[in-house]
Amino acid sequence: MSKEKADRALVNALRKHGLSSIGKAHKLLMAAHRSRKPAATAGITLHKEEEAYSVQDAVFADLWPGARPVAWKAGGPSDKVEPTAAPIPPENLLRSPASVTGKKMRMIGVEAEVAFRMAKELLPRSRPYSDRAIAAAVGEVVVTIELCDTRLADWKESSGLWKLADFQNNSALVVGSGTKDWLKIDFLQQEMEFRIGARVARAKGAHSFGNPFRLLPWLVRHAAKRGLGLHAGDVVTTGAWTGLEIAKLGDEVTARFPGIGEATVRIN
């Protein structure tokens, strides 16, 4: 049976059994993860973010049973819209300098980011944490490189909710060096350099939220709604400074934020 016929048969079977959109999406993405063949999602619609997050939770629980997120991807195009988030499991949190196999990736996307590493836990509670308390729980700001891939066959045309269900295209997160003196950083003036092989991208004050810390209180509340908290050592990365860049096999990718640190990953 051809891949196209197999995908069509799976979708038809899901429809026949009357599963919800969440259940269908969960099964399709699990099949894609296990077979390493992209999921054809045509005809299955996710209607709201809550559904996409339910799919994330179900896939995470099946792929990493008993594990909890040790990192989060948070971000958005601007502070005018609700951010989005995706949990990252222990096996996908890598230390710089890292090396990854790109041959199995459909899209070798890379993003240069800064992240907050927690020094204290922020567990769910009925009384919300103040921004001051959240800032006091941060141990340092570190440079990260997010590796982006997709489990969706039609990812360029897929809805934002499908991409969100697919962990917002996250594949792994490479964590580099940082600084504990992060409160003195002027993110509006922060410069950065992103090298992807021989290509160089530079930016200054380019974070979509201005100060990326603004995403952290939102992420703490978001995680709490999902029954999750942040623990000491957890990392929250906050979105690309130069957008999604595409790397190729053999590239060495390095993100440098002067005054903060750097991270490196080689694509093999």
Is residue 48 situated within a structural domain?
A: no
Terminal CA-CA length for the chain = 32
Is residue 124 situated within a structural domain?
A: yes
Please list, in sequence order, all residues whose beta carbon lies within 8 angstroms of the beta carbon of residue 147, skipping any fewer than 6 positions away.
100, 105, 108, 109, 110, 170, 171, 172, 173, 174, 265
Please list, in sequence order, all residues whose beta carbon lies within 8 angstroms of the beta carbon of residue 246, skipping any fewer than 6 positions away.
107, 108, 109, 110, 196
Is residue 116 situated within a structural domain?
A: yes
Residue 5: pLDDT band by 50, 70, 90 thresholds? Answer: low
Residue 109: pLDDT band by 50, 70, 90 thresholds? Answer: very high
Provide the domain count of the chain.
1
- CA 41 to chain CA centroid, nearest Å: 21
Residue pLDDT, tens place only, 142-200: 999 999 999 999 998 999 999 999 999 999 999 999 999 999 999 999 999 999 999 99
Is residue 188 situated within a structural domain?
A: yes
In which residue are the tokens 């619609």 written? 45
Structure-token pair, residue 234:
């957890």
Residue pLDDT, tens place only, 235-265: 999 999 999 999 999 999 999 999 999 999 9
In which residue are the tokens 């096996």 written? 91
Average pLDDT of span 7-27: 66
Say if residue 93's pLDDT is above 90. yes
Average pLDDT of span 78-103: 96
Is residue 100 situated within a structural domain?
A: yes
Is residue 222 situated within a structural domain?
A: yes
Is residue 58 situated within a structural domain?
A: no
pLDDT at 12: 55
CATH number for position 226: 3.90.850.10
Is residue 43 situated within a structural domain?
A: no
pLDDT at 20: 86
- Distances from the Cα of 148 to the Cαs of 34, 115, 158, in angstroms? 18, 16, 15
Three-class secondary structure of residue 45 per DSSP: coil
Q: What is the mean pLDDT of the chain?
A: 93
Residue type, position 4, single letter: E
pLDDT at 14: 44
pLDDT at 9: 52
Average pLDDT of span 204-213: 97
Residue pLDDT, tens place only, 57-77: 999 999 999 999 999 999 999
Average pLDDT of span 29-41: 94
Residue 129 to residue 183: CA distance in whole angstroms? 18
Q: Is the pTM above the cut of 0.85?
A: yes
* DSSP states along 153-177: TTTTTS-HHHHHHTGGGEEEEEEEE
Which range marks the domain in which residue 160 is found? 67-267
